[in-house]
Amino acid sequence: MLLPLLTLALGLTGCSGESPAPQDPPSSAVPPTAQFGSVTLPEDPGPLVDTITKQVKAAGSVHADIVSGDERGSADLRTDSVLPMMTVTINDASPTHAVVLGGVVYARTEGSEVEPGRPWARLVRQEIPTAPQEVAAMLTTLLNQIEQALKQVSADTGLGLVRDGVFTRDASSEKLDGVPVRRYDGTTSGEKLPDKKVAKSGLDGIGWTLWVGEDGLPRKFSASLKSAVSTVTYSKWGSPVTVAAPPANQVSSLD
């Protein structure tokens, strides 16, 4: 199962508190290409996260690649919108694709259709029909999988762990794929995690490593719980990203 990395789509996109009601989204959104300069990176978790959050929102967009055990995924997302806005692909035996726009999740699994000629499902949890039961179960499982992937790629996931954690060693300078970065190693106790099962299990918590560029933008975040390791790699900060809902005639109405 993918580890929830507690702060980098919902936090990257600036969401907090109760989400606005879903609404019909615009057809697409493309941020301008951003330019970044160097920033001073604080050595304390809270101020460091504040600096990164500011830079992430200013960047406007990012590409993320996810590795968690045998699972793989990728996403292109906007980081300057109130509601999550991204495209996601989960690469398993039957790849799943999703578009998140305007508070609505559109999803399809390769090789299957929700109804003939309509491979995409419009997923809003409160709108999933209760019957037929097998369809409701399939759509609920699909939405859960997509939401888990969103937590993985969101910068907020990693940043939450950092803010609530402690550094286990001094920050160090190194190169990641030839680019200078600052490396931060730390741990977050089970009591600080949203999922209280970790604390109740007796495990100490989650260990993590965050690599940040000189521009204050995350380049990589890795978290581990016992032998389970999840890693998100971030690239293409500020590159134009188009997020568009699938054609209406390919989306199941679920009526």
pLDDT digits (tens, 9 = 90+) for 8-59: 322 333 333 333 344 444 445 555 555 678 899 999 999 999 999 999 988 9
Strand pairing of 120-123 and 172-176?
unpaired
Q: pLDDT for 112-149, tens place per residue?
A: 888 899 999 888 877 777 878 887 887 788 777 767 66
Tokens describing residue 56: 């992430």
pTM, entire model: 0.78
Instruction: Give buried/exposed letters for 13-42 (b at 16+ CB in 10 A, else e).
Output: bbbeeeeeebeebeeebebeebeeeebebe
More confident call, 45 vs 5 = 45
227, amino acid identity: S
For residues 66 and 152, is the Cβ–Cβ distance under 8 A? yes
Q: In this structure, what are the phi and psi dihedrals at residue 39, rounded to the nearest 5 degrees?
A: -130, 160
More confident call, 156 vs 174 = 174
Strand pairing of 172-176 and 179-189?
antiparallel
The pLDDT confidence band at residue 210, using thresholds 50, 70 and 90, is very high
Residue 213's Cβ-count burial label (10 Å; 0-12, 13-18, 19+) is buried
Tokens describing residue 133: 């039961």
Task: State the average pLDDT over residues 77-91.
Answer: 82
User: What's residue 255's pLDDT?
Assistant: 57
Residue 221 has pLDDT above 90, yes or no: yes
Tokens describing residue 228: 């389970």
Q: How many CB atoms lie within 10 A of CB 157?
A: 25
Instruction: Give buried/exposed letters for 215-229 (b at 16+ CB in 10 A, else e).
Output: bbbbbbbbbebeeee
8, amino acid identity: L
Per the listing, tokens 């990693």 go with 158
The pLDDT confidence band at residue 156, using thresholds 50, 70 and 90, is low
Integer angstrom CA distances of residue 50 from 45, 56, 60, 149, 212: 9, 10, 16, 24, 13
Residues forming a β-bridge with 185: 209
User: What's residue 5's pLDDT?
Assistant: 29
**What percent of the chain is modeled with pLDDT above 90?**
30
Task: State the average pLDDT over residues 185-200.
Answer: 71
For residues 193 and 165, is the Cβ–Cβ distance under 8 A? no
Distance, CA of 51 to CA of 217 (rounded, Å): 9
Tokens describing residue 187: 């741990």
Distance, CA of 190 to CA of 3 (rounded, Å): 14
